[in-house]
Structure 1
Amino acid sequence: MLHTLSRIALAGVVSMAVSTANAAPESKDPIKITLNDWTGELLSAHIMGEILKKAGYNVEYVPADYLAQFSGMGTGDLTVAPEVWATTAQEALDAAVKTGGVENVGSSGMEAREDWWFPEYMKEKCPGLPDWKALKKCGAAFATPDTAPKGRYLGGPSTWGGYDEERVEALGLPFEVIHAGTDAAMFAELKSAYERKAPIILWIYTPHWAPIKYKGEFVEFPAYEAACYEDPAWGVNKEMKYDCAKPRGPIWKAVWSGMQKKWPGAYEIIKEYKFDNQTMGELAARVDIEGQKVEDVAADWVSKNEPTWKPWVKP
Structure 2
Amino acid sequence: MARKLLAAVAALSTLTWQPAMAEPESTDPIKLTTHDWTGQIVTTTIMGEVLKNAGYNVDYVQADYIAQFAGLKTGDLHVAMEIWETTGREAMDEATATGKVVNLGETGMQAIEEWWYPAYMEEVCPGLPDWKALNDCAQEFSTPETAPFGRYLGGPVTWGGFDDERVEALGMDFEVVHAGTDAALFAELESAYQRKAPIVLWLYSPHWAPQKYKGSFVQFPEYSAECYNDPSVGINPDAAYDCGKPRGPIWKVAWKGVDEKWPGAAAAIKAFTVNNDDMGAMIAKVDLDGVPVEKVVAEWMAANEDTWRSWIQ
TM-score range, shorter chain: over 0.9
Closer, same or farther in 2 for the Cα pair 1:139/1:91, shift >3 Å?
same
Equivalents in 1 of 2:20, 2:172: separation in Å? 59
Tell me, yes or no, if structure 1 residue 208 matches structure 2 residue 207: yes
* Matching of residue 148 in structure 1 with residue 147 in structure 2: yes
1:111 and 2:110 correspond: yes
Deviation at 1:308, TM superposition (A): 1.6
Q: Do residues 304 (structure 1) and 303 (structure 2) align? A: yes
Given that 2:34 and 2:40 are in contact with CA atoms closer than 8 Å, whether structure 1 keeps it comes out as yes
TM-score, normalization: structure 2? Answer: 0.92
Query: Is 1:131–2:130 an aligned residue pair?
Result: yes
Larger Rg: 1
After the TM superposition, which segments of 4 or more aligned residues of structure 1 sit over 6 Å from their partners? Answer: none
Tell me the secondary structure at the aligned position of residue 88 of structure 1. Answer: coil
Distance, in Å, in 2 between the alignment partners of 1:23 and 1:197 is: 55
Separation (CA, whole Å) in 2 of partners of 1:281 and 1:222: 27
The one-letter amino acid paired with 2:256 is S
SS at match of 1:205: strand
Aligned 8 A contact 1:108 1:274 in 2: yes
Answer yes or no: is the 8 Å Cα contact 1:208–1:280 preserved in 2: yes
Counterpart position of 1:52: 51
Q: In the alignment, residue 192 of structure 2 is paired with which amino acid?
A: A
1:299 deviates by: 2.1
Give the AA of the match of 1:274.
Answer: T
For 1:114 and 1:28, locate their aligned partners in 2 and report how far apart those are by CA, in whole Å. Answer: 38
How many residue pairs match? The answer is: 295
Equivalent residue for 2:180?
181
Q: String of CA shifts for 1:112-131, please: whole Å, max 9, x gaps.
A: 11000000000011120000
- For residues 174 and 298 of structure 2, what CA distance do their matches in structure 1 show? 42
Structure 2's unaligned 5+ residue stretches are 1-18
Deviation at 1:53, TM superposition (A): 0.8
State the 1:304 CA deviation: 2.1
The Cα of 1:137 is off from its aligned counterpart by 1.1
In 2, the alpha carbon distance for the partners of 1:279 and 1:196 equals 30
Q: Corresponding residue for 1:41?
A: 40
- Mark the CA change 1:217 to 1:75 in structure 2 (over 3 Å): closer, same or farther: same
Q: For 1:293 and 1:106, locate their aligned partners in 2 and report how far apart those are by CA, in whole Å.
A: 28
CA distance in 2, matches of 1:52, 1:122: 46
Partner of 1:80: 79
* Shift in Å, 1:190: 0.5
Given residue 101 of structure 1, which amino acid in structure 2 is its aligned partner? K
Residues 78-137 of structure 1 deviation map (CA, whole Å, 9 limit, x = unaligned): 111000001111110011111111100100011111000000000011120000000221
Structure 2 CA distance, aligned partners of 1:75 and 1:31? 14
Separation in structure 2 between the aligned mates of residue 101 and residue 42 of structure 1, nearest angstrom: 24
Give the corresponding residue for 2:91.
92
Aligned to 2:88, what secondary structure does the other structure show? helix
Q: Tell me the CA shift for residue 148 of structure 1.
A: 0.9
Name the SS of the counterpart of 1:81 in structure 2.
strand
Deviation of 1:24 (Å): 3.3
Q: Distance in 2 between matches of 1:233 and 1:102?
A: 31
Q: Does the C-alpha gap of structure 1 residues 167 and 23 become closer, same or farther in structure 2, counting only changes over 3 Å?
A: closer
Name the counterpart of 2:232: 233
1:194 is matched with: 193
Specify the code of the residue in structure 2 equivalent to 1:219. Answer: V
| Structure 1: runs of 5+ lacking an equivalent | 1-19
Superposition pairs of residues 288-299 of structure 1, within 5 angstroms: 288-299=287-298
TM-score scaled by structure 1?
A: 0.92
Contact 1:135 1:174 in 2 (8 A): no
User: CA–CA distance in 2 between the matches of 1:58 and 1:209?
Assistant: 32
Q: Which amino acid aligns with 1:82?
A: M
Q: Percent of aligned pairs with the same residue?
A: 62
- Cα distance in 1 for partners of 2:92, 2:294 equals 27
Pairwise CA distance, 1:23: 4.2
User: Equivalents in 2 of 1:292, 1:157: separation in Å?
Assistant: 24
Residue 269 of structure 2 is matched in structure 1 by 270
Provide the C-alpha distance between the structure 2 equivalents of 1:262 and 1:188, rounded to a whole number of angstroms: 43
Output the amino acid matched with 2:191. S
Matched residue type, 1:302:
M
Question: Deviation string for 1:46-69 (max 9, x for gaps)?
Answer: 010111111111110000000010
